[in-house]
Each structure stands twice: as structure tokens, then as C-alpha cells.
Amino acid sequence: MGDLVAKTGEGSNNSSVPSDLSTKARCSEVQSHGSVVATHYNTLEERGLAERCKSRIFYLRNFNNWIKSMMINEYLSKIWQGKSHGAPVRVLDMCCGKGGDLLKWRRGNITHLVCADIAEVSVEQCQARYNDLQNRSRNDRGFAPVFTAEFISADCTKVRLRDRYKDPTMELDLVSCQFSFHYCFESLPQAESMLCNAAECLRPGGYFIGTIPDAYEVMKRHQTEGDSFGNEIYKVEFQCDTKPPVPLFGAKYSFHLEGVVDCPEFLVHFPTLVKLAKKYGLQLVAKERFDSYYERVKEEGRSLLGKMQALETYPPFHEAPLLGHVPEDYEHVQQYMQKSTGHRKVGTLSKSEWEAASLYLMFAFQKDNTRWKAEERPEFEDRSETTRKRASEDGNDGSVSKCLKSTDLTVGAGGETL
């Protein structure tokens, strides 16, 4: 069967993966990285739908958006299951960008949303989108009123968000940080600040969810291809010393994604993240690479895959051009169709897009119940045994060798459109 396979690379070792919290970063920066990130996103040009449809990464962006939709649906469902009828659901969208998830929050029937981002222009655009959503909702019959919202322009890796909330006593049910958390691993204080913002107002039982590059996969490709690697749509280039041991914080690389991202990022050593999260009462409950998560939820989300145009139809209708320009981009689907029966049209990602998508993982932490010690410090209930059973084993033990699994990305569409 012609599967699109992410190869594991036999004999991988974890010598280049740090495991000691005391390891010192060797990548020093004079200029604050936060100002670089803010400038990048403040100057990023807004593109219309017509132009986005022509983008080489049109399906990749939609696929990533589908992953986010499935995650948000999954954890909002868990939250609603524990709520009485009419109880409020409050969400923090940390690093909200231009508000790309506003419709997801609307469909999730949340009550209140806090949007925070380092880029002031992005926050302004997010608020404008929210205002437009509010105006349109007044004409939507049968829909509940749009959630209330507040907007904060701040560096979440340095500023205490609670001090900016309209109601600092507010309890959050869900915190979401999509494709941005890795910026805080510039330094230990910034990582702790980000986690504090995620956990401080999160109620016991609430969730912190997010998506980040998988440091193990990044380092695995680095071991194979060197300090610079990628393909026609993405490129990673290290800007720090990658000789073992790689620093826990400040392990900097530039990441370019065609027409969307061209910004320095930092590796997130996941065992370190788990250890730091426990300090703030956050226990890991889920961690999956995008390929694994896709396999787990694809049947449940099959209809949404089509609606969101998250996969490219192959062969295309009416001899329309494929987005992939490299001949090898569709070899996997050609082989699949040769060996299968009854599939005249299937949905897929090009190989180049899949190589970019499979760099990422999703995670979910749950806030523990807290007690107070005599010295007035919080003491968190430890659910580590439960966590180990529930969380994915994909890299949780600090081993590089478990971080990749084979996957079949090709989805049969029953001979019809997606």
C-alpha cells in the first residue's frame, strides 16, 4: 500500500536531547526576541480568501486548522460534561494572533473569551473580527448571543495577564495556546511566566491545550540533514550551537513557512515542560504527534475535513492543477490508488506539506486540585500515575526513538468529493 510514511530512522539516540534542568543555554541574545516576534506579526500582511486559495500551503494551513478544531471540540466537550446547565465557560486564547479561532469559540458556545497577544496590530485585528462577528450574529436566528470578550496586548512570556483582566478573580475553564508556546523557551523565566499565565486563573479540572514543534523530530532531522533542512515550503536553520548537550532554553532556530512565518523559534524540551508545569499544578494528560492525533480522530472529524478543505483532492477535478510542484509529492497517493479499489478520488496532503505538518505535536495539561500548606503556599494534588496511563507515550520518557510512527495520510473519499 502506498502510504505516506514518516520514517523513524533506526538507531536514533538521545545524546543530543538535554535532560538536566541545570543545563545552561549557549545561545545569547542582545535584542529581546519578543520584539522580533512582535515586529514580524505586526507587519505580516493580511491576505484575502482568494489569495490564500492560491497559496502553496493552502491545504497545510487548513489541515493544521482542522487539528485545532478537533482539539478545541474535544476539550470543550470534556468541560461541558462537568458543567450544570447554564453554567459559564470562560477561555483564555493566549497568543491569539488575528483571531483565527474566534469561530471555533463561537461554535463551542463559550461564555467569555480573553484574547492576549504580543503583537498589538494583531490584537486590533482580532478585536475587529470579534466586532464583525457580533454584528453578524444579531441577524443569526436560532443562535445564542456571541460570547463577551476582552483584548490584551502584552508579551505573555513576561507580563502577568491576571493584572490586565477586567476581573482578576475570574476562573478560567480552558487556556489555549496554538503554534506559539515555543517562543517562551527563550529562557527559564519566560517559560515560567507563560506557564503561570496558563495556570494561575485556571480552575481545578480545567485544561491547558496547545500545539508546538516536536523538539525530538526537529533534532532527528537535524542529525540526518545538518543545521539547515526543509523542502520547498518550509525551512529550519539552527542559530545556536547544536553540539550535545543542546541547551534546555535558548536553543534557537529560524523557521520559514511559505508566505506565513519567517521568525526565530526555540526548541521545547518536553520533559522539562512537564516538570515545570507540575510546579504550577498542571499535569500532562495528552501528548500526540499530529500524525498520531490525525489517525485517532480522523473518522470522527471526516466531515469536518471536507468542510474545511483540509485535504487536497487527488486526482483534481476538471484537470485543475495540483498545488505540489515536485513529482514525488504525490507518489504515495498514486501507489495507494493503484492498489485500492473503489476510490476514484481521495483526499491527501502533498509529501512536502506532510513533512511540515509532522514536525508538530499537540498537548493537554489538566489543572490539579489545590490545597494550602500552613505557610500559605499552594500544594497540588499529584495525579502523576493517572497521567502516565492517560498520556501518550510518544517521547514522554525523554527518548528520541519513540517520537515517530508510520502513518497513512491518504483518506479514501468513496469515489466522490471530500
- Residue 129's H or E segment, with its range, is helix 120-137
Tell me the DSSP string of 381-414: ---HHHHHHHS--SSTTS-GGGS-------EE-T
For helices 188-199 and 270-279, angle between their N-to-C axes, nearest 10 degrees = 50
In 3D space, the residue among 386, 406, 388 whose CA is nearest the CA of residue 397 turns out to be 388
**Grid coordinates 489545590 are at which residue?**
370
In 3D space, the residue among 268, 232, 248, 184 whose CA is nearest the CA of residue 356 turns out to be 232
68 is in an annotated binding site: yes
What is the spatial order of strands in the sheet that 172-178 belongs to? 148-153, 112-117, 90-94, 172-178, 202-213, 360-367, 282-289
* Whole-angstrom distance, CA of residue 88 vs CA of residue 170: 11
64 is in an annotated binding site: yes
227 is in an annotated binding site: no
117 is in an annotated binding site: yes
In 3D space, the residue among 347, 255, 266 whose CA is nearest the CA of residue 301 turns out to be 347
Chain centroid offset of residue 278 CA: 20
93 is in an annotated binding site: no
Q: With contact defined as beta carbons under 8 Å apart, do 178 and 95 qualify?
A: yes
Binding-site residue set for S-adenosyl-L-methionine: 68, 95, 117, 155, 178, 183
Q: Which residues are annotated as a binding site?
A: 64-65, 68, 95, 117, 155, 178, 183
- Binding site membership for mRNA: which residues? 64-65
